[in-house]
Amino acid sequence: MANCEHTFIAIKPDGVQWGLVGEIIKRFEQKRFHLVGLKFMQASEDLLKEHYIDLKDRPFFVGLVKYMHSGPVAAMVWEGLNVVKTGRVMLRETNPVDSKPGTIRGDFCIQIGRNIIHGSDSVESAEKEIGLWFHPEELPRLHHCTPSWATEQDSISKIK
């Protein structure tokens, strides 16, 4: 399937602490995405520094790494049709004040520094992040992606 993708989603320590792991998984499953990897873990500082390397020159970098290291994280890999872009729409803005109700951050966040969730912003960053957080043997070779009968594009092409 042309747009079958994988994305990396991490529920940050505040989201775990607030008990939102199940609710967030439920939202992704309701969008018909497939969970193909899940780890509940305490991320090392080295992993977090590598994950946020593009922010290393920002004044909040040290605090972000410290915060992300302060508690467990639920690291996930999701698969599906346009999952990267759709996942970002589901999360919404980094600053929850700018996020509308009905989105994850709009419903559950109040501060930019405690915005409960991370999601890959491109297919390329998803590949990099998945490689940082998961070893290949931790991800089953499931290719659930949306069956051809379930998407309009494929259904229409078969009718013609």
User: Would you please indicate which residues are annotated as catalytic (active-site) residues?
Assistant: 118
Phi, psi of 86 (to 5 degrees): -65, -40
Tell me which residue of 54, 50, 49, 53 sits closest to 65, measured CA to CA.
Answer: 49
Helices 83-91 and 21-30, interaxial angle, to 10°?
130
27 is in an annotated binding site: no
Helices marked H in the chain — which ranges? 13-17, 21-30, 45-51, 61-68, 83-91, 104-108, 123-133, 152-159
12 is in an annotated binding site: yes
Structure tokens at 3: 């747009």
56 is in an annotated binding site: no
Query: What are the b/e assignments for 76-90, b being 16+ CB within 10 Å?
Result: bbbbbbbbbebbeeb
Structure tokens at 37: 């990897």
94 is in an annotated binding site: yes
Residues of the binding site for ATP? 12, 60, 88, 94, 105, 115
Residues of the binding site? 12, 60, 88, 94, 105, 115
